[in-house]
């Protein structure tokens, strides 16, 4: 079992790069239980869920009625689905690390991520370069997402791609398009894109990343669906803005 905290080198990497990977953090039995549940929910189309057709990203079906239109992208509300997800989301293996990054009192957001991400081999879309905070509304842009791989995640099946250090850069409007995706045609961005890192994971590996870190993902070019469990956390004093999607569901205060 790994220690339930980041060492000095890991903490420094997160501060510098906006992400850090904890290898083999989840036990094989934990991973297999959640993977079994994910496969069951996907086969049953068990809601709430989001379809690839809903996001209108490159490669996604044009509508729910088009070929592949009922391809699931995310199985939503993972925390409420089963105790296996709740136990993982509140595990000291995560919570103690998150306290190092966010402070002593933290909450899990039920309004953002809180899902099982699925990437289908036939109809998975491309996710362009973006920051998650672009559509979240909190008093401060200081949240951390925790991405658990339930199987192998490499370039060929659409693992996350990261631009290290972008959580600490201020981007002017002309570097982004109307939807706040990074514009690859801008010279400054071209230079930045050469720093790309693929967050390749094996089952049980966990990626911690800042909400301002630019990231993207490609198609799943293999024959198997990829599954990941993702939760997002914030300091209890960093409140969601009233009346926004971020405040639509109550946060889950994590145990001291």
Q: Does residue 13 form part of some domain?
A: yes
Q: Does residue 126 form part of some domain?
A: yes
Q: Does residue 14 form part of some domain?
A: yes
**Cα–Cα distance measured from residue 97 to residue 113, given in angstroms and rounded to the nearest whole number:** 19
Q: Does residue 93 form part of some domain?
A: yes
Compute the Cα dihedral for 121, 125, 129, 133 and give only its sign. Answer: negative
Residues 51-78 have pLDDT tens digits of: 999 998 888 899 999 999 999 999 999 9
The domain in which residue 240 lies consists of 8-253
Q: What is the residue whose two structure tokens read 């086969």?
A: 43
Residue 250 has pLDDT above 90, yes or no: yes
Q: Does residue 1 form part of some domain?
A: no
Residue 14 has pLDDT above 90, yes or no: yes
**Cα–Cα distance measured from residue 117 to residue 72, given in angstroms and rounded to the nearest whole number:** 9
Q: What is the CATH number of the domain that holds 38?
A: 2.60.120.620
**Cα–Cα distance measured from residue 161 to residue 185, given in angstroms and rounded to the nearest whole number:** 18
Q: What is the pTM of this model?
A: 0.96
Number of domains in the chain: 1
**Cα–Cα distance measured from residue 230 to residue 168, given in angstroms and rounded to the nearest whole number:** 22
pLDDT computed for residue 3 by the predictor: 75
Among 1-5, 7-11, 119-123, the range scoring the smallest mean pLDDT is 1-5
Q: What is the residue whose two structure tokens read 């991405």?
A: 147
Residue 1's pLDDT band, with cuts at 50, 70 and 90, is: very low
Percent of the chain whose predicted confidence (pLDDT) is above 70: 99
Residues 167-199 have pLDDT tens digits of: 999 999 999 999 999 999 999 999 999 999 999
Residues 19-39 have pLDDT tens digits of: 999 999 999 999 999 999 999
The pLDDT of 227-254, averaged and rounded, is 97
Q: Does residue 3 form part of some domain?
A: no
Q: Does residue 198 form part of some domain?
A: yes
Q: Which two tokens stand for residue 233?
A: 């956390």
Percent of the chain whose predicted confidence (pLDDT) is above 90: 94
DSSP state of 176: B
Q: Does residue 2 form part of some domain?
A: no
């Amino acid at each position: 079992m790994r220690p339930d905290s980041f060492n000095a080198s890991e903490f420094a990497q997160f501060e510098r790069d906006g992400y850090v990977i904890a290898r083999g953090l989840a036990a094989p039995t934990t991973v297999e239980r959640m993977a079994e549940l994910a496969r069951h929910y996907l086969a049953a189309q068990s809601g709430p869920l989001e379809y690839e057709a809903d996001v209108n990203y490159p490669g996604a079906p044009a509508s729910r009625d088009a070929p592949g239109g009922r391809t699931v992208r995310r199985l939503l509300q993972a925390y409420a689905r089963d105790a296996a997800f709740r136990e993982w989301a509140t595990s000291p293996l995560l919570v103690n690390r998150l306290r190092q990054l966010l402070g002593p009192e933290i909450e899990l957001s039920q309004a953002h991520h809180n899902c099982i991400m699925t990437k289908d081999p036939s109809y998975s879309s491309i996710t362009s370069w973006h920051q998650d905070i672009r559509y979240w509304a909190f008093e401060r842009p200081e949240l951390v997402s925790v991405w658990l791989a339930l199987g192998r995640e490499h370039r060929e099946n659409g693992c996350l791609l990261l631009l290290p250090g972008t959580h600490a850069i201020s981007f002017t409007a002309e570097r982004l398009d109307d939807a706040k995706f990074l514009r690859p045609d801008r010279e400054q961005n071209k230079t930045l894109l050469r720093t790309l890192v693929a967050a390749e994971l094996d089952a049980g590996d966990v990626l911690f990343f800042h909400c301002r870190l630019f990231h993207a993902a490609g198609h799943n070019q293999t024959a198997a669906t990829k599954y990941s469990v993702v939760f997002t956390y914030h300091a209890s004093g960093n409140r969601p803005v009233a009346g926004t999607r971020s405040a639509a569901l109550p946060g889950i205060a994590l145990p001291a």
